[in-house]
Amino acid sequence: MPTMANITVKKADGTTDIVYTALTPSAGDKGAAQWRVESIGVVAGNRPVFQVMTRASQDKGARIIEGKLVYPETFTDSTTGLISTKNRELFSFSAITHMNASDSAIAELAAQAANLVKSTLIQDVLKTGYAPT
């Protein structure tokens, strides 16, 4: 099983790194590992948060992986100076990997899923909110 660590990814500009700092590791099945971007904002509740949780399927024949990224859009009230959240953008995913699947099949699923989300076309879908036509 993986060891909890910080996650560094590129921002939308494709150059700048953003670090998701490891906050809490998973305590086991159904316990989420959590990360937060500590370099954004002055209020912890207004920072991007990423979490991943795993569990066994009901018949114990597969592992279920679920992840969620919440990205708050904040603004400062010009009258009060208070920082508030306008929207909370959400990205989530789930995967099922069967215990009798080969390591290479699971590795391909992991690589291709990550690369599909990383593709320009799927990023454009996420940006626009519309499927390709």
pLDDT at 120 (0 to 100): 95
Per-chain mean pLDDT for the chain: 95
What are the distances in angstroms from CA 45 to CA 42, 62, 70, 105, 120? 9, 34, 11, 38, 30
In degrees and rounded to multiples of 5, residue 124 shows phi and psi of -65, -35
DSSP-based three-state secondary structure for 121: helix
pTM: 0.89
Between 43 and 90, whose confidence is greater? 90
Mean pLDDT of 17-40: 96
Name the percent of the chain lying above pLDDT 90: 84
